[in-house]
Structure 1
Amino acid sequence: MRFSGAEDRWRQGLGTLRDVVRQTLVTRQLAEHLPATPCRILDVGSGQGTQALRMAARGHHVTALDASGDLLGLLETGIQPGMRVRTVRAEAERLGELFEPGGFDAVLCHGVLMYFDDPDPFLADLARMLAPGGLLSLLVRNGDALAMRPGLLGDWEGALRAFGGTDYVNRLGVPARADRLGELAGRLAVHGLEVRQWYGVRVFSDTFPDDAPIPENLDDLLAAEERAGRTDPYRGVSALIHLICSAS
């Protein structure tokens, strides 16, 4: 996986306005599909654990896997009494050897698939982790709107390149790969996963500068982003897409 070497820049982005928008929307969208009763959740590439901790606070049993000991350390500082969270330090590629098939009711994989040149073996591993009827929450870069960010920033050469492919260099300076919704749905179907719902994430706020302050009207911003992320045609031009998939 190609994320190695970008951890410092990732940490610098924690708590920024773009991060707040992303994490809040993903939490709200995911919560609609998880059962109210406690379930077993695996968070693959959990990073600092924003989603893992939020799911644990809702009573779920969470296993958080990440290759970074420092990021897992941040996660562990957020574990409150009564939360059931286990951390595992390992590369995402090792899923198949670390966990028994069918051991989780839900698997979260947010911002990870983009670092795999060939996503299919990894998608197969994610599918194998799910119990029958389990749920996969997958957050990826939106390949159908890859030209939007450079275009809105006035990078016309970058926008023109983006029309023709799915490879790009992200804000962390790491080469990455976007996914087009139709193609990704087909890949998921091969592994017994059906897209139940999908959302756009960061329709309006993707081009905010790194140092953009948290506005006083944050609730209005989030409400507008949430509405756009559920509504066509807006969700189709979002920076990220969040897929909720069910296992057969």
Structure 2
Amino acid sequence: MSDPMRPPVARSRASLRTAVVWDVLRDALDRLAKATGRESLDVLDTGGGSGNFAVPVARLGHRVTVVDPSPNALFALERRAGEAGVADRVHGVQGDVHGLFDVVERGGYDAVLCHGVLEYVDDPAAGVRNAVAALRAEGVLSLLAAGLGGAVLARALAGHFTEARQALGDPEGRWGEGDPVPRRFTAEQLTGFVEEAGLAIGAVHGVRVFADLVPGVLVDTEPGALDALLQLEAAAAELPAFHSVATQLHVLGETRGASGA
């Protein structure tokens, strides 16, 4: 983590939401850069918002195009990229994953990020197909979406047993009318989308397996608790037994060339 080209994950509760995904993504980009012989990759971040991943990726030296439907998010992205000194490597454009090729080039990117997008689109499988179609012959897809099991467990532990059962049996994984998330997925659904789009599965990780269940007071007041929880999250992330209770699921898809590199 001392490598200056690898921005460290901030030791805060917010880091629990991104640490596992960031580590997997950073390593995948490193491997792809070595395999292709290009130190600077072209990365597409669909639904990238204000740049939570785009700016750190640009700090690694890569060129990032962010597609997002929100003008406000793109304005915040421009400001964040400028403050981080990577404005020349981050480009924002208004659009969405279904109309992706109205605003970006088909087959023009080494890596595509699709984080927090599938929950909100009408056809998740089509969204994944578009994301994959944006990849070059050798590339990687980073897919992050809400997990069904984590929502069921969270509602049950909060004492909302009827809502937990509703989410468990609902085709979209929703626990009721007040649920702010339109759609949730199992690991099998997400890997199915990726494989049907023609990619090999490089890895599957559970994200926020414990972080959303542990009382904040324990993390904030116990010495060393945050670091220990981060390490626990990392250790559990790759274990299939914990995928079914994760708040989010991360799938790394690879083209055949990238997976064989």
Q: TM-score range by the shorter chain?
A: 0.7 to 0.9
**Equivalent of 2:237 in 226, 229, 240:** 229
Structure 2 residues not aligned, in runs of 5+ = 1-10, 34-38, 257-261
Aligned equivalent of 2:182: 176
Correspondence 1:36-115 to 2 at 5 A: 36=33, 37-79=39-81, 80-82=84-86, 84-115=89-120
Preserved CA contact (<8 Å) 1:146 1:239 = yes
**Equivalent of 1:201 in 201, 207, 229:** 207
Higher RCO (CA-CA < 8 Å; seq separation 6+): 1
User: Letter of the aligned partner of 1:41 in structure 2?
Assistant: V
Q: 1:70-113, CA deviations, whole angstroms, 9 ceiling, x for partnerless residues?
A: 22222222223355111112233220222221100000011110
Secondary structure at 2:140's aligned position in 1?
Answer: strand
C-alpha change, 1:211 and 1:95, in structure 2 (3 Å) is farther
Matches of 1:173 and 1:211, distance apart in 2: 26
Q: 1:8-43, CA deviations, whole angstroms, 9 ceiling, x for partnerless residues?
A: xxxxxxx983x4311222111211211352211000
Matches of 2:85 and 2:12, distance apart in 1: 27
Secondary structure at 1:102's aligned position in 2?
Answer: coil
Size of the aligned set, in residue pairs, is: 232
Q: Which has the larger radius of gyration?
A: 2
C-alpha change, 1:169 and 1:95, in structure 2 (3 Å) is farther
Preserved CA contact (<8 Å) 1:203 1:239 = yes
C-alpha displacement of 1:144: 4.5
The structure in which a higher percent of residues are strand is: 1
Normalised TM-score (structure 1): 0.83
Where has structure 1 moved over 4 Å in runs of 4 or more? Answer: 208-216
Preserved CA contact (<8 Å) 1:41 1:105 = yes
Q: 1:134-183, CA deviations, whole angstroms, 9 ceiling, x for partnerless residues?
A: 1000001123444111112111011111221333169x953411122223
C-alpha change, 1:178 and 1:72, in structure 2 (3 Å) is same
Normalised TM-score (structure 2): 0.79
Matches of 1:72 and 1:213, distance apart in 2: 33
Preserved CA contact (<8 Å) 2:187 2:243 = no
Aligned equivalent of 2:6: none
User: Letter of the aligned partner of 1:106 in structure 2?
Assistant: A
The structure in which a higher percent of residues are helix is: 2
2:23 aligned with 1:21, yes or no? no
Matches of 2:73 and 2:182, distance apart in 1: 21
Matches of 1:183 and 1:199, distance apart in 2: 14
C-alpha displacement of 1:214: 5.1
